[in-house]
Chains A and B, each alone.
Chain A
Amino acid sequence: METYIYSFLFCGFVCMISQLILDNTKLTPGHVTSLFVVIGALLDISGIYDKIVLYCGAGAIIPITSFGHLLIHGAMDIASENGFMGLALGIFDLTSVGISIAVVSAFFLALVFKPRH
């Protein structure tokens, strides 16, 4: 039950921070999402983000910070066996699911639908 509360708090907190950045600076959503990916990659150091995922559940999986975390997590998993080559080999191990599904669904939807304004 606590996972639901932490999930609510963490996901809401991340979204609120990004909205505050958007409202108070001239940065665009593109800047903010890139910034959050870098922060997620930084938080993987000594497994901080893994602990957040453990306590917050899906609330920590769905923000874009999780994308950066999964990128470096996959890379470091392989790098612990293969050394520096592992960084290049394992970088998309965990995130390829999201990217490929997003591209495939976008491609077929663009064939079927017309843009609306």
Chain B
Amino acid sequence: MKDRYLELVSKYTPKENILKNAVVTFLAGGILGTLCELLLRGYMMWFSLSRSESGVMVILTLIVISSILTALGVFDYCVSKLKSALIIPITGFAHSITSAALEYRKEGLVLGIGANIFKLAGSVIVFGIVSVYVFGIIRLLIMGG
């Protein structure tokens, strides 16, 4: 019975075309990176910022744009087409925070938004902090900085 079920599941699970996905994400991710480089040069020119400052501005722009697109419901459609080309850049981080906030809004401000806003993005922050402590202590002890 169980074998039959698994057989049916594998028959009706849509086959992901791995090669096509890889090419699409490579192109889409590359185009996003190139556009951001263009925007970074633009910020340096328009506001006469240094390179690192305009890098921060680029990150802010991406976060705000992807939050608004998530709230409008457009972002999920884009992710279904472009896949991890939108998940791995900082847009995915903003998307996970905004979608969690929208999802749990109905449970109230404190217990809904406040408690659940890091539900998806929390793993990134936790593993970031833990790895910084581990690598940082190792580097301070062995290499001295």
Contacts and interface: CB of A to CB of B under 8 A. Distances in A.
Contact of A63 (B55, B67, B73, B89): B89
A63 B132 contact: no
Interface in A79-112: 79-80, 83-84, 87, 91, 95, 97-99, 101-103, 105-107, 109-112
A101 B63 contact: yes
Interface residues of B, number: 73
Contacts of B12: none
B29 A34 contact: no
Interface string B36-62: 111110000000000000011011101
A97 B22 CA distance: 31
Interface string A7-29: 11111111110111011100001
Task: Give the secondary structure class of A's interface.
Answer: helix
Interface residues of A, number: 70
A15 B60 contact: no
Given A18-B84, A72-B135, A101-B64, 12 more contacts: A12-B85, A19-B84, A33-B93, A37-B128, A61-B36, A66-B90, A67-B93, A83-B140, A97-B59, A99-B125, A105-B94, A110-B101
